[in-house]
Amino acid sequence: MQKIAIENGRIIDPANQTDSIGSLYIAEGHVIAVNETPGDFTPDIVIDAQNQIVCPGFIDISTRLRQPGQSHKATIKSETRAAASAGVTTLVLQADTKPAADTPAILELIKDLADKADYPNIVTIGALTQKLEGQELSPMLALKQAGCIAVGNAGKPVSNLLILRRAMEYAASHDLLLIYRPHEHSLGNKGCAHEGAVATRYGLPGIPYTAETIALAQCLELAEQTGCRVHFGQISCKRSLIKIQQAKKYGLDVSADIAIHQLHLTENDMEPFDSAYHVLPPLRSDQDKQALRDALSQGVITVLCSDHQPHDLDAKLGAFPETEPGMASIETLLSLMLKLVNDKTISLSQGIAALTCNPASILRLPSGSLSVGMIADICVFDAHMNWTIDSTTWKSKGLNTPFWGSTLSGRVTHTLQSGKIIYSLN
């Protein structure tokens, strides 16, 4: 395996509270030294990172790669290529593959596809219930033994609270994290937009914030009763943040993430109903967006994700309510995080932590830092390089982004996975 030196970069490693100009040395897939050149080290490759940031590779805690089952939308090969160009070195795959990730055989298939794509760091959330139908519990122990790092129902409903309670008891007994996107489907009522001024004005079926907060409150009660570790995915409204903050205050082992687009877009951006803005949970109010930003700044929420969901063109054609929800967003993750830094919502170290050591800690992954001896998953990026989102720069098969044609700041120049360069801008 090649020896690599990354020289003269600004090394930011929140896990070790490092922020300094220096060099990083890599051999046998691991970080072997920081700043001090090891004896008899002759690099095969030297990366000049002057005026660039060197940090741990990003861990995206919520993605859909559309394979197996929907390769007409995207493939593991196409989306891992997009991930590599975005500095993402670990992808956490939701369980709603087709078929659902509810057996060791499906996990093995995903692993094979990841290996063939030459991107082995895909970890899968096992299905909480069989076929994600919310009726019968999945074989969680077998899923854990097959490599799943957590369980969840990928936003699909669980038929009743007794089943959810049993599932959480089962998960807790196997020390499995529950990743739960709170959504009370009966209140959601097949809506497509935030139940607010915009939805009312244009007659769109709305989703109230209570669809999220009621489901979240129920899960918090069960977390206290069962002792299950819970990570809440894609929080979108102010009232949810208050409940999470209170739960943490009283000692519950809970955490949460925010999809990056929720920190930049609101219901007002939906006009004139471009289906690229159709996401679940829906884009909420300006007040909710500001509350999400405050929660990230204050450490109530510690993880950012892309919630990447590539679609084919047919899925996004038609009237707004008839289109499929979801945004292709992994390639805008870094730039939108940097925009939060430029807006002075968070520091650069906070933003990098939200994409590296914080998700690693929640998922108990052996990555997310640049400590000597750690696996060399690394991102090198130029925070000031502008790029335009178009067919010459975009890697994902999903073109469903509302930022198409926009010029953003922040471009990854190199991505390393286990000490191997898997992306280079030039």
307 catalytic residue (yes or no): yes
* Beta-bridge partners for 125: 150
DSSP string, 245-267: HHHHHTT--EEEEEEGGGGT--G
The two tokens of residue 365 are: 């992954």
Instruction: For residue 265, give every residue at least 6 positions away whose Cβ sits within 8 Å of its Cβ, in sequence order, or none.
Output: 277, 283, 289, 402
The position carrying tokens 């009660």 is 221
* φ, ψ for residue 254, nearest 5 deg: -130, 155
Of 134, 244, 223, 236, nearest in space to 178 by CA = 223
* Beta-bridge partners for 308: 63, 327
* Beta-bridge partners for 18: 13
Cα separation values, 12 from 15, 19, 353, 356, Å:
9, 4, 9, 11
Q: What is the CA radius of gyration of the chain?
A: 21
Query: Which of the 8 DSSP states describes residue 15?
Result: G
Of 356, 371, 369, nearest in space to 90 by CA = 356
Q: What distance in Å separates the CA atoms of residue 268 and residue 191, rounded to the nearest whole number?
A: 17
Q: Which long-range contacts (CB under 8 A, 24 or more apart) does 391-395 make?
A: 394/82, 394/331, 395/78, 395/81, 395/82, 395/85, 395/331
The gap between the terminal CA atoms of the chain, to the nearest Å, is 22
The two tokens of residue 172 are: 């807790």
Of the residues 13, 96, 288, 307, only one is catalytic, namely 307
Report the catalytic residues: 307
